[in-house]
Amino acid sequence: MLATKREKMVGLIGLLIVLLVAMWMSIVCGYTDTSWRQAVAALIDNDGSNAHLVVATVRLPRALIAAAVGASLAMAGALMQALTRNPLASPGIFGINAGAGFFIVVMVTFFSISSLQLLSWVAFMGAAMAALIVFVISAAGKDGLTPLKMTLAGTAVAALFASLTQGMLAMNEKALEEVLFWLAGSVAGRKLELLAAVFPYLAAAWLGSMLLARHVNILMMGDDVAKGLGQRTTFIKAAAALLVVLLAGGSVAVAGPIGFIGIMVPHMARALAGVDHRWLLPYCALLGGILLLAADIGARYVLMPREVPVGIVTALIGVPFFVYIARRGITVK
Amino acid sequence: MKKYVTVRVGKHISFFYDKKAVVVLAALIAAAIFLFLISIGSGEIRMSPLEAAAALFGYGEEIHQTVIVTFRLPRVLVAWLAGMALAAAGAILQGMVRNPLASPDVLGITGGAAAAVVGFLALFSDENHSLIVSIHWLPLAAFLGASAAAWLVYMLAWKNGLAPLRLVLVGIGVSALMQALTTLLMITGPIYRASQANVWITGSVYGASWQHVLLMAPWVIGLLLVAILAARHVNVQELGDELAMGLGGAVERQRLGLVLLSTALTGGAVAFAGGIGFVGLMAPHMARRLVGSAFGALLPTAALLGGVFVMGADLAGRLLLAPAEIPAGVFTAALGAPYFIYLLYRSRKS
- pLDDT tens digits, residue range B51-108? 888 888 877 778 877 878 788 888 899 999 999 999 999 999 888 777 777 788 888 8
Query: Which of residues B24 and B11 earns the better pLDDT score?
Result: B24
Nearest to A169 among B183, B184, B198 (CB): B198
pLDDT at residue B11 above 60? Answer: yes
pLDDT score at B193: 64
Half-sphere exposure of A59 toward its Cβ, with a 13 Å CA cutoff?
29
Residue of A nearest to B175 (CA): A319
pLDDT above 70 coverage of chain A, percent: 91
* The amino acid at A315: A
Q: How many beta-carbon pairs under 8 angstroms link A with B?
A: 139
**Most distant pair of Cα atoms in chain A: their distance:** 66
Model confidence band, residue B350 (pLDDT cutoffs 50, 70, 90): very low
pLDDT at residue A309 above 80? Answer: yes
Give the containing element (helix H, strand E) for A32.
none
Task: Report pLDDT digits (tens) over A295-308.
Answer: 999 988 887 777 88
Contact B271, B141 (CB under 8 A): yes
Instruction: Choose among B31, B94, B78: nearest CA to B269.
Output: B78
Contact B198, A166 (CB under 8 A): yes
pLDDT at residue A71 above 60? Answer: yes
Nearest to B348 among A143, A160, A326 (CB): A143
The C-alpha atoms of residue B121 and residue B130 are separated, in whole angstroms, by 9
Q: In Å, how far is A7's CA from the nearest CA of chain B?
A: 35
Instruction: Choose among A245, A238, A236, A241: nearest CA to A215.
Output: A236
pLDDT at residue A163 above 60? Answer: yes
Instruction: Flag if A157 and B337 touch (Cβ within 8 Å).
Output: yes
Model confidence band, residue B15 (pLDDT cutoffs 50, 70, 90): low
Model confidence band, residue B196 (pLDDT cutoffs 50, 70, 90): low
Instruction: Flag if A170 and B198 touch (Cβ within 8 Å).
Output: yes
DSSP conformation letters of B203-243: ---TT--HHHHHHHHHHHHHHHHHHHHTHHHHHHHTT-HHH
pLDDT above 90 coverage of chain B, percent: 17
Instruction: Give the C-alpha distances (Å, rounded to integers) separating A131 from A157, A223, A313, B197.
Output: 9, 20, 25, 30
pLDDT score at A331: 46
Task: Report pLDDT digits (tens) over A2-42.
Answer: 778 888 899 999 999 999 999 999 888 877 767 777 777 77
**Most distant pair of Cα atoms in chain B: their distance:** 68
Nearest to B156 among A149, A169, A323 (CB): A323
Query: Which of residues A129 and A332 earns the better pLDDT score?
Result: A129
Nearest to A312 among B157, B180, B338 (CB): B180
> Which residues of chain A make contact with B184, given a CB cutoff of 8 A?
308, 312
Distance of CA A139 to the CA centre of its chain: 24
> Which residues of chain B make contact with A169, given a CB cutoff of 8 A?
195, 198
Task: Report pLDDT digits (tens) over A97-108.
Answer: 888 888 888 887
Instruction: Flag if B177 and A316 touch (Cβ within 8 Å).
Output: yes
pLDDT at residue B345 above 60? Answer: yes
The C-alpha atoms of residue A139 and residue A248 are separated, in whole angstroms, by 21
Instruction: Flag if B159 and A167 touch (Cβ within 8 Å).
Output: no
The C-alpha atoms of residue A6 and residue A39 are separated, in whole angstroms, by 35
Query: Which of residues B333 and B308 earns the better pLDDT score?
Result: B308
pLDDT score at A293: 95
- The SS3 of residue B165 is helix
Q: What is the pTM of this model?
A: 0.81
pLDDT score at A289: 96
The C-alpha atoms of residue B94 and residue B43 are separated, in whole angstroms, by 36
* Lowest model confidence (mean pLDDT) among A51-65, A175-189, A208-222, B171-185: A175-189
pLDDT score at B212: 83
- Residue B73, chain A, CB below 8 Å: the answer is no
- Residue B165, chain A, CB below 8 Å: the answer is yes
The C-alpha atoms of residue A21 and residue B6 are separated, in whole angstroms, by 73
Predicted complex ipTM = 0.79
Nearest to A160 among B176, B177, B337 (CB): B337
> Which residues of chain B make contact with A323, given a CB cutoff of 8 A?
156, 170, 173-174
> Which residues of chain A make contact with B188, given a CB cutoff of 8 A?
303, 306
Query: Which of residues A325 and B15 earns the better pLDDT score?
Result: A325
